[in-house]
Structure 1
């Protein structure tokens, strides 16, 4: 169980970022331990009976009393011991999922006129990773079906290089609810180096049509989708990330060729 806990640290961290409560994390870990103990006890009982019957068929004596009152006691005892062994991993999970008064990420900026720039909770020392995430996000926008927004144009990926600094931009046009209000915006997801050399990620949006107050309300839900995809990206396997990173580097090479 402890080994399983260490393997799932990243997964638990993603659940916590999405709003998983500490008590729910404990229940999840404890239930997993009880399930393992129950399955192990039943399988052990079946294997013991099978071995006993097989040995008796071979002419040897290895009797087993299926109706013995001690068998249920042994099964219950093994389940209780396994449950007690799950307490420590459950407490470690509780410590990992730190409770907070603010369970949701809060947008750090406000719109200025009809434009709004929002810095996302993402920093990286690798240009390749940021390009890979933009490719991953582009694929998401091409296939997503949700009530929170509609993509009006195919996402366009651009890579710009100025004074040895590389900036990647993913552009698309998005419609926001309520759709009868005809709210549309031009969205640019920008990956750019900061002053300290790290790669930062932000979303610059511009209201094209519709009322401003409805745009502000709908845009918050759109940004939350991007944030969740960022969390999903962090949970991808290394091989899956490498696929998107190769696509991003292809855009970079094409830019150099031109």
Structure 2
């Protein structure tokens, strides 16, 4: 979590007599901060420039520490000796060896971090820093929130809440490598880069052995919004202060809520009778029953928002009025709870009651709507051993060429008769000159075996484009000739085959443009090769 300066100052004032208090933080991307979300790959403060060699390196983060902790903690002193101590013309900064060599930096060089001058004070021991950990086994380097979000299946540029990270276990976090960060004094980052510097951790070291660590940790937990870890002779303990959430008065609002729900229910049921012609008009325009029902839900959603927010604003006005009358001595104002949790909960309850009251009216409205078309496409009956129908898809002339190669590839993937719902062989593309209003029609043909294969269902399949009433749009004609298998089994198996073909058409519409162009070119090459061969 991010610690505000007011909080850190308060803790220092309260506990400075018993503890040496040090802060940790730095400059790194935090998804809970609005400015740190988005698609920008590099933040300006992550770039270090050395004017002498005119070279730059990109840092993942800049870790900030108090120099006093390096003298107080022997493990920290192994990272950098005399951290931040010395006479520097600019704030000192320490780089890992790999970045120092890449820049060609020498101690005393002036480096620019986001345009701010720093003095290169030397390198630090990356291995020693990597081995350091907190009492709850977390690293002391800045966390890599972007990689942490990616591991959870979220986009690295997504925003996040503090509660999300608080609920995660320590093992779920990723940390920046010590080979890709720099070290600086936290006070320098506070002074020169306050807008991007973050205080994320505080370490308290007892000044003498008489300090009761557990008692002081409990006292700190009451003023600190987060976990407090304390190490004593009994081990490491985690403490945090919470308050129980209680609710009361639910029985007093049940009756008003039921009355409100019944009013909405009766109003919508009555409007269905009054709006029958409107519902029939929607059906005539092509709206399906679910769409008609969704209109009633949308109407109720407006009512719920207006009711929830309007009721909240009205309650504020009434409360102000009662408060004014109370000050005038006219009446004693009742006690009211205006906490954010109560207000939001009340609004959500009102919205939920309104939406629940809409379920039955919306279902009735959807049943009153008759779309006038079959809800599911049905394959026509065959004429003897021949089945011909217009496939329930219209495609552009340009797209159909690519679809043929796409379907041909799908058939090629089903050449084995032991797998899948069908098997295809002898798949070829063909052209019918002048068959489409004077233009050439193109198509695909194959020999298909349908599952279950032990029934011996075998057929010849042809699919080609045909002229449609809209210029530039083709309809798809499918012709199937039964060769083997009983007529009933053949027709029944073709239902699944037609559904499989339909899925491929739906999948085609989701392909990227580059893939579509690839299939178009493949069809043109196949048809051109066939003409040359003939």
TM-score (norm 2): 0.32
Which of 226, 231, 241 is the aligned partner of 1:68?
A: 241
State the shift of 1:139 in Å: 0.5
Structure 2 CA distance for partners of 1:159 and 1:40, relative to 1, 3 Å: farther
Which of 472, 481, 486 is the aligned partner of 1:211?
A: 486
Q: Does 1:130 align with 2:400?
A: yes
State the shift of 1:252 in Å: 4.4
For 2:374 and 2:162, the matched residues in 1 are separated by: 42
SS of aligned partner of 2:480: strand
Q: CA RMSD in A?
A: 4.1
Structure 2 CA distance for partners of 1:65 and 1:228, relative to 1, 3 Å: closer
Structure 2 CA distance for partners of 1:256 and 1:171, relative to 1, 3 Å: closer
Question: Paired residue for 1:8?
Answer: none
Structure 2 CA distance for partners of 1:45 and 1:180, relative to 1, 3 Å: closer
SS of aligned partner of 2:381: coil
More helix by percentage: 1
Question: Paired residue for 1:166?
Answer: 440
Q: Does 1:154 align with 2:426?
A: yes
Which of 223, 235, 247 is the aligned partner of 2:498?
A: 223
State the shift of 1:65 in Å: 3.3
State the shift of 1:253 in Å: 4.1
The structure with the larger Rg is 2
For 2:514 and 2:244, the matched residues in 1 are separated by: 47
Residues 9-20 of structure 1 aligned to structure 2 (within 5 Å)? none
SS of aligned partner of 2:426: coil
State the shift of 1:173 in Å: 0.8
Aligned length: 198
Structure 2 CA distance for partners of 1:255 and 1:180, relative to 1, 3 Å: closer
Residues 175-190 of structure 1 aligned to structure 2 (within 5 Å)? 175-190=449-464
Q: Conserved in 1, the CA contact under 8 Å of 2:429 and 2:527?
A: no
Q: Conserved in 1, the CA contact under 8 Å of 2:422 and 2:451?
A: yes
Structure 2 CA distance for partners of 1:239 and 1:102, relative to 1, 3 Å: same
Residues 109-124 of structure 1 aligned to structure 2 (within 5 Å)? 109-124=380-395
TM-score (norm 1): 0.61
Structure 2 CA distance for partners of 1:70 and 1:218, relative to 1, 3 Å: same
Structure 2 CA distance for partners of 1:191 and 1:41, relative to 1, 3 Å: farther
State the shift of 1:192 in Å: 2.6
Q: Which runs of 5+ in 1 are unaligned?
A: 1-36, 92-97
Which of 105, 125, 141 is the aligned partner of 2:411?
A: 141
State the shift of 1:188 in Å: 0.6
Higher RCO, 1 vs 2 (CA within 8 Å, ≥6 residues apart):
1
For 2:514 and 2:496, the matched residues in 1 are separated by: 30
Structure 2 CA distance for partners of 1:177 and 1:256, relative to 1, 3 Å: closer
